[in-house]
Amino acid sequence: MRILVTGAAGMIGRKLVERLAKDGHVGGREITTLAMTDIVEPSAPGGLGAESQITAADIAAPGAAERLIAYRPDLIFHAAGIVSGEAESDLEKGYRVNLDGSRRLFDAIRREGERAPYKPRLVFTSSIAVFGAPFPDKIGDDFHLTPLTSYGTQKAMVELMLADYTRRGFMDGVGVRLPTICIRPGKPNKAASGFFSNILREPLSAREAVLPVSEDVRAWHASPRAAIGFLLHAAALPPGALGDRPNLTMPGLSATVGDELAALNRVSPAAMRLIRREPDPVIQRIVAGWPQAFDPKRALSLGFRADSSFDEIIRYHIEDELGGSLPGRP
């Protein structure tokens, strides 16, 4: 199986290629070639047994997507994009990267199929930002898409294009609406949701973190480990499993900031002293339009599974990012 991962230098992309290298297969099919691309050159994962192709490319630039598709990957994970806060602050960049880049990739697939029969499975990392308030207590699978941010609008537009190109037989698309990913490793980024991770990741590493919203703010969460599981499960679904509705919302954990802090306190009471409360009206406004809980029956019926608690999410972070223990502890 030949695989292409766009956005392979990002958090999700990096973890995905590491998992692909570790497993060596997807859905029982051996990986023979793993191509990785991003706006900056990704790093090759350790232990990769398959042939690797690593490139730095801007898929929104003319010709870039065609070069990536020329070797006809069987499976494409499309994770390239910029995050919510940056897409909101830089309108042109958001539409160029998140929408135009996706369209060029999809059209490259279509044109390759016109040259000779070609229909890859494409897994797209969408977002629950495609939904907008007002919300019911739990958002079902039939709730309408009314995004309240440019980021959510861009994701919704790509979802529609993915559904249309799948309907027309150009690709076998699966749109995976990811929850808010927590705990994101690395440094704070420009995502409006970044504080959900910051208030856990930084104190767990003995660093100060800023909390810009109140503790009653609720969101739909998934760990990075769960998110990679979603993508791999989507890649292995039987053809046609989603019918005419190839985009679906992933299961997750509905929790408040207070729930996060309570879990942090159970792990490390001392870490709580490293959280500084600084209300931010811009972040508060964006977060107020986010969904808080879902009833993802379709995804659950198809075998997707989420984290069970924030205690579990914190445990995963300690295992995956901190070597199994907190700084200063054995």
pLDDT at position 27: 93
Read off the pLDDT of residues 271-285 as tens digits, 9 standing for 90 and up.
999 999 999 998 888
What's the CA gap between 167 and 42, in Å, rounded? 32
What does the pLDDT average to over 205-218?
94
| Residue 140 falls inside a structural domain | yes
pLDDT at position 328: 61
Measured in whole angstroms, how far is the alpha carbon of residue 10 from the centre of its chain? 10
| Residue 313 falls inside a structural domain | no
Averaged pLDDT score across all residues of the chain: 94
Here the CATH number for the domain that contains residue 111 is 3.40.50.720
Residue 154 has pLDDT above 80, yes or no: yes
Amino acid at 94: G
Query: Is-contact 122 109, C-beta < 8 A?
Result: yes
Residue 330 has pLDDT above 60, yes or no: no
* Residue in 71, 95, 118, 151 annotated catalytic: 151
Lowest mean pLDDT among 42-46, 56-60, 129-133, 286-290: 286-290
What phi and psi values does residue 196 have, to the nearest 5 degrees? -60, -40
| Residue 30 falls inside a structural domain | yes
| Residue 62 falls inside a structural domain | yes
pLDDT at position 47: 78
C-alpha pair distances (Å), 66 with each of 63, 249, 251:
5, 30, 34
Indicate the number of domains in the chain. 1
pLDDT at position 188: 76
Is 316 a catalytic site residue? no
| Residue 200 falls inside a structural domain | no
| Residue 271 falls inside a structural domain | no
pLDDT at position 58: 96
Domain that holds residue 86: 2-180+222-249
What's the CA gap between 261 and 138, in Å, rounded? 23
What does the pLDDT average to over 19-25?
94
pTM of the model: 0.94
Read off the pLDDT of residues 64-103 as tens digits, 9 standing for 90 and up.
999 999 999 999 999 999 988 889 889 999 999 999 999 9
| Residue 295 falls inside a structural domain | no
